[in-house]
């Protein structure tokens, strides 16, 4: 399952990482008990008895206690989701941050197959991501490693989203929300319209999209210096902008990162699209069932 801020994507992932059953349900307006009930029912509605369950969740997860610490609009703070689902369904459950799950998905079955040192940036409403280091998912001491949206790129920038005390983070300056804000400043409806205008040759729209790409590049340059990845994959809804975002990112990395990493790292579009976190959750479930 891939549990986002407003919808639930549920599928059955087999040993080849193919998604056999696929259903999407809105979660808007649901309380805690209603949402937990929906998760259980969605699994039962697949008609399959799972060997294990993987849940990709748009939340910060403290792995020491398997507790959801912060989930934005999700009413699950303080919930031990793994324990709840295991008690209800009687099979092993893995609960993982959605950015981490996307990184696993791309590493196992997407554009990152065969790459041992990989960064996945998910650029949607906010910015998330995951780290594959030495061929393994890197979670850190408590489980929050890979929160790539909470990375300062402008010391004089705006405050981050509710729940984060930071200033000038990628989550607000390099995200789909940043594209939406830029669109409104130009009298447009939203980020997708801005990208369409940029793609059709509108110079103002092109500059606005490129600025968001440069912000992403600022954060990425520091990550390249610290982690020395072979490949960086950019996914999420805003990644549909393609080279309009990727090329400004590459230019900043070449300008600001250290050699030889800046000369060897590849920055490319992710391969699995919106299925990345679902496939990654399935891969983690398969490992739990082994």
User: Is the distance from CB of 272 to CB of 110 less than 8 angstroms?
Assistant: yes
Cis ω on the peptide bond leading into residue 260 (within 30° of 0)? yes
More confident of the two residues 271 and 22:
271
Q: Cα separation of 119 and 145, whole Å?
A: 12
25 phi/psi in degrees, rounded to 5: -135, 135
Beta-bridged to residue 54, according to DSSP, are 94
Question: Whole-model pTM?
Answer: 0.94
Q: Cα separation of 137 and 244, whole Å?
A: 29
pLDDT band, very low/low/confident/very high, at 290 (cuts 50, 70, 90): confident
Same fold, 2-100+275-289 and 115-270: yes
Q: Which of 23-27, 115-119, 133-137, 229-233 has the lowest mean pLDDT?
A: 23-27
- Mean pLDDT estimate for the chain: 94
3-state helix, strand, coil in the chain (%, to 5): 40, 20, 35
Query: What is the 3-state secondary structure of 23-43?
Result: EEEECCCCCHHHHHHHHHHHH
Share of the chain above pLDDT 90, in %: 83
More confident of the two residues 166 and 138:
138
Provide the pLDDT for residue 246: 97
CATH number of 2-100+275-289: 3.30.420.40
What value does the mean pLDDT take over residues 113-118? Answer: 98
| Per-residue pLDDT reduced to its tens digit, 16-36 | 999 987 789 999 999 999 999
- Which CATH fold topology does 115-270 show? Nucleotidyltransferase; domain 5 (3.30.420)
What value does the mean pLDDT take over residues 153-171? Answer: 87
Provide the pLDDT for residue 66: 84
Q: Cα separation of 116 and 122, whole Å?
A: 19
| Per-residue pLDDT reduced to its tens digit, 222-232 | 999 999 999 99
Provide the pLDDT for residue 120: 98
Q: Among 107, 81, 113, 112, which Cα is nearest to 1's? A: 81
Provide the pLDDT for residue 23: 87
Task: Using DSSP bridges, classify how beta strands 2-3 and 53-57 pair: parallel, antiparallel or unpaired.
Answer: parallel
Please give the biggest Cα pair distance in the chain.
57
All structural domains of the chain with their residue ranges? 2-100+275-289, 115-270
Q: Among 180, 173, 135, 144, which Cα is nearest to 156's? A: 173
What value does the mean pLDDT take over residues 129-137? Answer: 97
The pLDDT of residue 124 is above 80: yes
pLDDT band, very low/low/confident/very high, at 243 (cuts 50, 70, 90): very high
Provide the pLDDT for residue 280: 98
């Amino acid at each position: 399952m891939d549990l986002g801020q407003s919808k639930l994507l549920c599928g059955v992932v087999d040993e080849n990482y193919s998604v056999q059953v696929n259903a999407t349900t809105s979660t808007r307006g649901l309380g805690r008990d209603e949402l937990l009930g929906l998760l259980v029912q969605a699994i039962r509605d697949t008609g399959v008895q799972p060997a294990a369950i993987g849940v990709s969740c748009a939340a910060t997860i403290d792995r020491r206690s398997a507790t959801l610490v912060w989930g934005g609009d999700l009413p699950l703070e303080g919930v031990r989701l793994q324990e709840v689902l295991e008690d209800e369904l009687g099979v092993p459950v893995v609960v993982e941050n959605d950015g981490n799950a996307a990184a696993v998905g791309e590493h196992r079955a997407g554009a990152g197959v065969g790459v041992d040192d990989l960064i996945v940036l998910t650029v949607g409403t906010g910015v998330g991501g995951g780290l594959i280091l030495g061929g393994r998912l890197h979670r850190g001491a408590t489980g929050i490693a890979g929160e790539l949206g909470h990375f300062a790129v402008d010391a004089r920038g705006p405050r981050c989203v509710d729940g984060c005390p930071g200033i000038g983070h990628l989550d607000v300056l390099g995200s789909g929300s940043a594209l939406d804000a830029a669109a409104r400043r130009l009298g447009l409806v939203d980020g997708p319209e801005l990208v369409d205008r940029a793609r059709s040759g509108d110079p103002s729209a092109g500059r606005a999209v490129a600025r968001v790409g440069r912000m992403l590049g600022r954060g990425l340059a520091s990550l390249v210096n610290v982690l020395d990845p072979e490949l960086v994959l950019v996914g999420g809804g805003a990644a549909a902008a393609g080279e309009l975002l990727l090329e400004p990112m590459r230019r900043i990395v070449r300008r600001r990162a250290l050699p030889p990493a800046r000369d060897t790292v590849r920055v490319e579009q992710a391969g699995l699209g919106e299925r990345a976190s679902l496939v990654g959750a399935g891969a983690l479930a398969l490992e739990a069932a082994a």
